[in-house]
């Protein structure tokens, strides 16, 4: 069921935040694993870095939209997770 941003409850926002933070952590784990040479295939490295970048972009867009619609809403930091 789609909701407009104005229909989002705190619970909805929290679920989105937790999901984005989880995706970020999973991707971050893969980057650390990559640096420890866990991934033998060189072609995986650019893909993982691209995923990390995309998660950060999505997170920032999510926060920008929230700030616009809810000016009093605390800014969510992905890196504080």
- Secondary structure element (H or E) that encloses residue 46, with its range: helix 44-69
Mean per-residue pLDDT, 12-17: 76
15 within some domain: no
Tell me the whole-structure pTM to 2 decimals: 0.46
If pLDDT is split at 50, 70 and 90, which confidence band does 6 have? low
**Structural domain of residue 58, as residue ranges?**
25-78
Token pair of 43 as six digits? 């072609």
61 within some domain: yes
Helices 10-35 and 44-69 pack at an angle, to 10 degrees, of: 160
| Average per-residue pLDDT for the chain | 68
Domain count, the chain: 1
Q: pLDDT, tens digit, for every residue of 26-57?
A: 767 766 665 555 555 656 667 777 777 777 78
73 within some domain: yes
């Amino acid at each position: 069921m789609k909701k407009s941003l104005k229909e989002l409850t705190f619970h909805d926002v929290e679920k989105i935040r937790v999901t984005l933070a989880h995706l970020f952590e999973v991707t971050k784990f893969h980057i650390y694993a990559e640096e420890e040479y866990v991934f033998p295939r060189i072609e995986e490295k650019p893909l993982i870095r691209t995923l990390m970048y995309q998660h950060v972009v999505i997170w920032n867009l999510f926060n920008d939209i929230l700030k616009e619609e809810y000016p009093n809403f605390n800014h969510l930091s992905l890196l504080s997770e």
